[in-house]
Chain A
Amino acid sequence: MTDVTPTAEDFSPATSSISVEQISRPSLSYWQDAWIRLKKNTRAIISLYIVLSLAFFTLLGPIFWNVDPSLQDLNQISQAPSLPKTAVLVGQYQRWSGIVLEDFPAEPADYPDSVDAVTDLRPFELATTQQVRLVWNPVVGAAGYNIYRNQRLPENFNDLGLPLGSTYGGNEVSYEDRLSLESRPYYYAVVPTDGLDEYEVYTVIEVTPSMIITLAEASDRQLIKDANVAQTGTALKLEFHPFGTDYLGRDMLARLMQGARVSLFIGIVAPFIYVIMGIVYGGFAGYFGGTIDSLLMRFADFVVALPFLLFMILFKIAFGIGPGESGIFPMLIALVLLLWPATARLVRGQVLQIREQGYIEAARLLGAKPHYLILRHIIPNTMGVILVTLTFAVPAAIFTEAFLSFIGMGVAPPTPSWGSMCNEGVKTMLSHPHELIFPAVFISITVLAFNLLGDGLTEALDSRMRSRE
């Protein structure tokens, strides 16, 4: 047994531990916690990056891609996305009177039942995208010629392609084609006629026009510095259109950027305003309940019954928006004034439910004031519903804008929006699909990204979901 000699210290009072529990991890606020859980959701984070890059595309894009979205380039109409093309500089277009033979009759003495095909069909000079000039030898018995153009070698007489034009006289043995020429192989066919009907013989020639640009156009577009110094015949790089061009040769990328501004403006601002309106309205009705609630909600029912399109037109007239002016502002007003009741109804339902919960009752007994109750307990608990509404409202508004611009109620030309670009693109869907696909893909991706992000946010922010983890 060991002797213990007590010291004075042994008789001093024991130190009492101040903290009852030990917090081993740093304290997290509501938003920090939500962010951590959002980060775990890969889909939501990808969507967030897409939404951010869309904002970047819209706001900063034009700084990096400084192209006028309404500038028409008629040399490059409906070009699919491609690398920049080179063109040869040429002088101004010179009229061509064509070739009319003096020593050959315009009309034959009598019309034979059949004639020979024309011979020696040849380009008169170098074929360019400005003009293709063809000449041929006359045919005895012909009173004119029809000229056709095809994009593939004709298989038979019925497969000659586009009827470009006619000459009226057996001695008119030339034709100038300027119809939307591209630098690609064309198959020209010449058919002799009796002035009305065709003889079923034809001659084909393959011609590939070379891409050209006139001095005037080049200096107009600032592709060359000085039209006087620049040499004709030199090759020149044309403007680069990474996303191709539309039906008037306008740069698709620049138009998509400008169109995004309209679409995202309507898509974000309108839902943001009307969702806030809905929260305030619904929260007010739900929290106070009773007669106020009935009255407010009957008014909301009334607003739901109002036809959107009619009001859109009425606002357009009321604001004095004339023809050819943008309908975006009345569209925003109509969206905000008519679409808030959906949010209001949802929020009211939630508030009615939450305010009867035990913890609200407890907080009230502990002396919590209404504003504390609302901000601390009710709003965070309705956040899930609100965010679901908001994330569905954003794509819905983008769609509404697209639809209204599609039917011509939205932006005024030449301002593009994704919807109006789809409207134009759908007309040439088969021949130039890129004019429809790009704006359509942008609408789809944006809508999908907002939906997925909203989904992730709902999970991250909904306080009731934490217990399920």
Chain B
Amino acid sequence: MRVTLAAVLLLLFNSVNAEFNTTSVNFDSQSITIALTQEPPQLNGMKATDQVSILVLSHIMEGLARYDRRGNIVPGVAERWEIDEKGATFWLRDNAVWSDGLPVTAHDFVFAWQNALDPATASEYAFILYPIKNGEAVNRGELAPSELGAYAEDDRTLRVEFSRPTGYFVNLTAFTTYFPVRRDFFESRGDRYAADAGDLLFNGPFKMTKWVHSASLKMVKNENYWDRENITLNAIDAQYITADTRARLNLFIDGKIVHTALDGETYKDALTQRFRIRRFTTGSVFFLEFNHRAHRVTRNLDLRRAIQHVFDPHEMVNKVLATPGNLPGESLFPVWLNGVDHKFRREYPAPIVQIDISRAKQYLAKAREELGLSKIPPLVLLASDSPTAAKQAEYLQGLLKAKLDLDIKIDIQTFKQRLAKMTAGDFDLVNAGWGPDFDDVMTFGDLFASWNLNNRGRYTNPDYDRLVRTAMNSAVPKIRMDAMGELQQLIVDDAIIVPQYEQGVIYLLHPRLKGVVRRVVGADPDYTYARVVQ
């Protein structure tokens, strides 16, 4: 078997060297072929949660606002809006129409949001609609969906009332859960809605014309789309569905697909094949999380500070992870988040923790004294079972042993089991990560608020909660960002977590395809503004 594969690879290699002759891009018809990592599990925008469904939906649907090539929020179905502390008003454009020619109206948004929040729909992303007045109560079944604070004043005007000031509301409307659904079409399809290409109405730049389940999916340019002049691609053909990076690399080598992600093993092959490797920061942040529950030694601030003062994120990224694309973690807030006028991290630089072994030892001595222990008992470090995660855990174990003489027991678990153990509090330290849900500091900021269920170390601090509330309850960017800046300082001062790295990925893209956008939130990769060049 292995010999056969090698022979095939050799053949492919030769053909590639001769000429990168491909069928994955076509200049004349402006069409491309891609591979999806899996069959889209849920194309009902109100329920979709996974990456692939969001990828497809973001090409075939459009919300009130959308992201442009450079990742800025720009008008989508809404041509303009006004927003204040109490709510927002959106004016929809006249030429935004569904793929059957009928206009997209404000009622379509109200219907979709009410439906997504309806407990009967059981949407996992319903919480993202909570900024709308009564959203949470509707989702809990305490109020009828019609009580939701979103009203169609007429077909072209949508009025939204907030449950609390939400300065970033427009950013949310670019998310799939906020996409419109037309009531008469939805009700005519019943349970079949979004089950097939014919059971969906499209208002985005593309429409789905063919969907062979578990095999392929085809999207073509939507001639009814209001901004059709700016869409160059005529067809995006997802001819392959596979998550196997090796298989995808072979498809790429063979010129069958335009894009594939690389992992630690396949990137070396891509290098020897002399392919152009690209880099993208996914927007996720990874950090060492402490267990702040009672009776855990990691509840002790000085112990946490001792660990904080020996960990060097630069060493982690450059020597341990050692694949390009990762950035050293210096804050809970990644570099791409927007602040008031510029990037958040430019306006509020992350506090720098100087690595200082002797100071760390002083903290440790103090911690031992406070805890009344002559030696800190072995700490359990919970980690995922990926090769990189195991390596990180071993690095940390060696570091803490060498610098602080702390004994670490590594508990390697599958992703699901790790989450279960984190929820149960069955750890002292855990290598955890967080990916953004929407384009605002709050997607990270409220992570360690006492009420957040994802705060699995159960950190509680009234100051933290107060800062999060301040940012939540204001629509003034300066007030919100100041609070988050203060929060960033608090995270370091209180050593709530120790940031490790901002995750990066490397991938291959067909050299004749331009304008493909990688995004930290929403469709990734986004082919909407892509074009094939000669």
A195→B71 CA distance, assembly (Å): 11
A163→B508 CA distance, assembly (Å): 11
Q: Given A70-B401, A248-B394, answer yes or no on A162-B319 (Cβ-Cβ < 8 Å).
A: no
B236 nearest CB across to chain A (Å): 19
Q: Which one, A70, A161, A250, contacts B271 given CB within 8 A?
A: A161
The answer to whether A232 has its CB under 8 Å from any CB of chain B is no
B470 nearest CB across to chain A (Å): 30
The interface bits of chain A over 449-460 (1 if a CB of B lies within 8 angstroms of the residue's CB, else 0) are: 000000000000
A323→B427 CA distance, assembly (Å): 10
The interface bits of chain A over 67-79 (1 if a CB of B lies within 8 angstroms of the residue's CB, else 0) are: 0001110100100
A408→B411 CA distance, assembly (Å): 11
Q: Which one, A195, A247, A413, contacts B397 given CB within 8 A?
A: A413
Q: Which one, A160, A161, A196, A413, contacts B515 given CB within 8 A?
A: A196
B459 nearest CB across to chain A (Å): 23
The answer to whether A361 has its CB under 8 Å from any CB of chain B is no
The answer to whether B387 has its CB under 8 Å from any CB of chain A is yes
The answer to whether A236 has its CB under 8 Å from any CB of chain B is no
The answer to whether A412 has its CB under 8 Å from any CB of chain B is yes
Q: Size class of B's contact patch?
A: 35 or more
Q: Size class of A's contact patch?
A: 35 or more
Of the candidate stretches A16-24, A151-159, A366-374, the one touching chain B is A151-159
| Interchain CB contact under 8 A, B275 and A158 | yes
Q: Kindly report which residue of chain B lies nearest to residue A249, judged by CB atoms.
A: B319
The answer to whether B381 has its CB under 8 Å from any CB of chain A is yes
| Interchain CB contact under 8 A, B319 and A77 | yes
| Interchain CB contact under 8 A, A323 and B324 | no
The answer to whether A180 has its CB under 8 Å from any CB of chain B is yes
Q: In chain A, residues 401-452, which have Cβ atoms closer than 8 Å to a Cβ of chain B?
A: 408, 412-414, 427, 430-431
B25 nearest CB across to chain A (Å): 15
Q: Which one, A77, A158, A250, A322, contacts B511 given CB within 8 A?
A: A158
| Interchain CB contact under 8 A, A196 and B324 | no
A155→B357 CA distance, assembly (Å): 46
Contacts of B271 in A (CB 8 A): 161-162
Contacts of A216 in B (CB 8 A): 357
Q: Given A71-B402, A323-B412, answer yes or no on A195-B70 (Cβ-Cβ < 8 Å).
A: yes
A166→B380 CA distance, assembly (Å): 38
Q: Which one, B276, B378, B390, B398, contacts A158 given CB within 8 A?
A: B276
A111 nearest CB across to chain B (Å): 11
Contacts of A413 in B (CB 8 A): 390, 393-394, 397, 410
B99 nearest CB across to chain A (Å): 29
Q: In chain B, residues 325-384, which have Cβ atoms closer than 8 Å to a Cβ of chain A?
A: 325, 357, 378, 380-381
A232→B306 CA distance, assembly (Å): 29
A417→B117 CA distance, assembly (Å): 54
Q: In chain B, residues 276-291, which have Cβ atoms closer than 8 Å to a Cβ of chain A?
A: 276-279
| Interchain CB contact under 8 A, A165 and B276 | no
The answer to whether B441 has its CB under 8 Å from any CB of chain A is no
| Interchain CB contact under 8 A, A248 and B324 | no
Q: Looking at B381, B390, B394, which has the most chain A CB atoms within 10 Å of its CB?
A: B394
Q: Given A196-B69, A430-B268, answer yes or no on A248-B322 (Cβ-Cβ < 8 Å).
A: no
Contacts of B397 in A (CB 8 A): 413-414
A408→B277 CA distance, assembly (Å): 33
B276 nearest CB across to chain A (Å): 4
The answer to whether A226 has its CB under 8 Å from any CB of chain B is no
Contacts of B413 in A (CB 8 A): 323
Q: Given A72-B399, A163-B277, A323-B411, answer yes or no on A179-B394 (Cβ-Cβ < 8 Å).
A: no
The answer to whether A197 has its CB under 8 Å from any CB of chain B is yes
| Interchain CB contact under 8 A, B380 and A324 | yes
Q: In chain A, residues 131-178, which have Cβ atoms closer than 8 Å to a Cβ of chain B?
A: 155-166, 178
| Interchain CB contact under 8 A, A165 and B279 | yes
| Interchain CB contact under 8 A, B274 and A196 | no
| Interchain CB contact under 8 A, B380 and A163 | no
A165→B514 CA distance, assembly (Å): 19
The answer to whether B231 has its CB under 8 Å from any CB of chain A is no
A61 nearest CB across to chain B (Å): 21
The answer to whether B408 has its CB under 8 Å from any CB of chain A is yes
Q: Kindly report which residue of chain B lies nearest to residue A149, judged by CB atoms.
A: B324
The answer to whether B506 has its CB under 8 Å from any CB of chain A is yes
| Interchain CB contact under 8 A, B318 and A180 | yes
Q: Given A247-B391, A248-B320, A248-B391, answer yes or no on A163-B279 (Cβ-Cβ < 8 Å).
A: yes
A159→B413 CA distance, assembly (Å): 39
Q: Kindly report which residue of chain B lies nearest to residue A180, judged by CB atoms.
A: B322
| Interchain CB contact under 8 A, A248 and B274 | no
A158→B252 CA distance, assembly (Å): 14
A42→B96 CA distance, assembly (Å): 89
| Interchain CB contact under 8 A, A179 and B324 | yes
| Interchain CB contact under 8 A, A408 and B412 | yes
| Interchain CB contact under 8 A, A414 and B268 | no
B422 nearest CB across to chain A (Å): 14
The answer to whether B494 has its CB under 8 Å from any CB of chain A is no
Contacts of B387 in A (CB 8 A): 427
Contacts of B320 in A (CB 8 A): 74, 248
Contacts of B398 in A (CB 8 A): 70-72, 248, 250, 414
Contacts of B514 in A (CB 8 A): 197
The answer to whether B84 has its CB under 8 Å from any CB of chain A is no
A156→B410 CA distance, assembly (Å): 45
| Interchain CB contact under 8 A, A414 and B274 | no
Contacts of A431 in B (CB 8 A): 268
| Interchain CB contact under 8 A, A324 and B381 | yes
A444→B148 CA distance, assembly (Å): 71
B13 nearest CB across to chain A (Å): 14
Q: Which one, A160, A178, A427, contacts B318 given CB within 8 A?
A: A178
The answer to whether A33 has its CB under 8 Å from any CB of chain B is no
A162→B397 CA distance, assembly (Å): 29
The answer to whether B517 has its CB under 8 Å from any CB of chain A is yes
A75→B182 CA distance, assembly (Å): 61
Contacts of A196 in B (CB 8 A): 69-70, 515, 517
Q: Given A71-B398, A72-B395, answer yes or no on A324-B268 (Cβ-Cβ < 8 Å).
A: no
The answer to whether A301 has its CB under 8 Å from any CB of chain B is no
| Interchain CB contact under 8 A, B411 and A163 | no
List 8 A–B pairs whose Cβ atoms lie within 8 Å, in order of A's numbering: A72-B395, A181-B318, A196-B70, A196-B515, A248-B394, A324-B381, A324-B411, A431-B268
5 further A-B pairs in the complex, CB-CB below 8 A; given A74-B319, A157-B511: A158-B274, A161-B277, A165-B324, A179-B324, A220-B357
Q: Which 8 A-B pairs have the closest CB atoms?
A: A324-B409, A323-B411, A163-B279, A72-B398, A159-B274, A180-B322, A74-B319, A158-B276
Binding site for A on B (CB under 8 A): 69-70, 264-265, 268, 271, 274-279, 314-315, 317-320, 322, 324-325, 357, 378, 380-381, 387, 390-391, 393-395, 397-399, 401-402, 408-413, 506, 511, 514-515, 517
